């Protein structure tokens, strides 16, 4: 049985440490957002925490391979099977899809969402810098910050999400951005959420988004 945190307690969040960069800035941002944060690759700690953050920078295959060293796919699967929240960031979002195609290489992802991550068709790649997002009015992540801009650093993205509400969770809430292609900037799908942008690099708006997620824990 999962224990309910005591009144006033800060929710526990594990930032999954599997060798990807960006770990400590994400941890600091989560602390500012109201979480009690542990950075670890320990499986049991990742399963026990109120929330799990899966960061990711670099190549799709490298992140998938590095996640395998800490049983990342199993950790995500087991948490979601129990309805326990997971948040992916940047490539940590991308690997949640079925596959990624990068430099001609087709790599299997974690398969939590259908679809393929591919290179954006734009005049300038990577997409680097601040951009607007189009979030749904009922978004939890973007509550109170729907008009804010967020910081992106990526060359690849998912341009569609073919999923409805007939599975174990309700139909996902999707947030979009445009850089050449229109692509998914964020997804909220039951206990599984993700952002293509970096909240930890997005100033006050990014901290507010993480705080919105932490409050759901």
Q: Would residue 166 show up in a list of annotated catalytic residues for this protein?
A: no
| Closest among 32, 108, 44, 31 to 16, alpha carbons compared | 44
CB distance 136 to 173 below 8 Å: yes
Could you give the 3-state DSSP secondary structure of residue 165?
A: coil
Helix (H) or strand (E) holding 186: strand 181-189
**pLDDT surpassing 90 at residue 199:** yes
Q: What mean pLDDT is predicted for residues 182-192?
A: 97
Q: Would residue 179 show up in a list of annotated catalytic residues for this protein?
A: no
Domain residue extents for the chain: 12-104+114-215
Q: What mean pLDDT is predicted for residues 186-194?
A: 97
pLDDT in tens, 47-66: 999 999 999 999 999 999 99
The active-site residue out of 74, 90, 105, 154 is 90
pLDDT in tens, 128-181: 999 999 999 999 999 999 999 999 999 999 999 988 654 556 789 999 999 999
Q: What is the CATH number of domain 12-104+114-215?
A: 3.40.50.880
Q: Would residue 118 show up in a list of annotated catalytic residues for this protein?
A: no
pTM (2 decimals)?
0.93
pLDDT in tens, 63-121: 999 999 999 999 999 999 999 999 999 999 999 999 999 988 999 999 999 999 999 99
Whole-number Cα distances in Å, 79 to 12, 47, 85, 209, 210: 14, 6, 7, 21, 19
Q: What mean pLDDT is predicted for residues 185-192?
A: 97
């Amino acid at each position: 049985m999962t224990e309910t945190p005591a009144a006033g307690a800060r929710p526990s969040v594990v930032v999954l440490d599997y060798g990807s960069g960006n770990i400590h800035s994400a941890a600091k941002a989560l602390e500012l957002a109201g979480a009690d944060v542990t950075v670890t690759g320990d499986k049991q700690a990742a399963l026990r925490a109120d929330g799990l953050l899966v960061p990711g920078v670099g190549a799709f295959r490298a992140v998938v391979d590095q996640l395998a060293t800490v049983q990342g796919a199993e950790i995500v699967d087991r948490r979601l099977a129990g309805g326990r929240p997971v948040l992916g960031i940047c490539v940590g979002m991308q690997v949640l899809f079925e596959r990624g195609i990068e430099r001609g290489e087709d790599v299997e992802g974690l398969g939590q969402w259908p679809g393929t991550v591919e290179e954006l068709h734009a005049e300038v790649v990577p997409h680097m810098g601040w951009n607007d997002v189009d979030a749904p009015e009922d978004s939890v992540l973007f509550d109170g910050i729907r008009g804010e801009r967020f910081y992106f650093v990526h060359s690849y993205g998912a341009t569609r999400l073919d999923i409805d509400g007939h599975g174990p969770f309700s139909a996902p809430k999707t947030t979009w951005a445009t850089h050449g292609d229109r692509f998914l900037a964020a997804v909220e799908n039951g206990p599984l959420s993700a952002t293509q942008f970096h909240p930890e690099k997005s100033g006050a708006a990014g901290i507010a988004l993480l705080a919105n997620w932490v409050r759901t824990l």
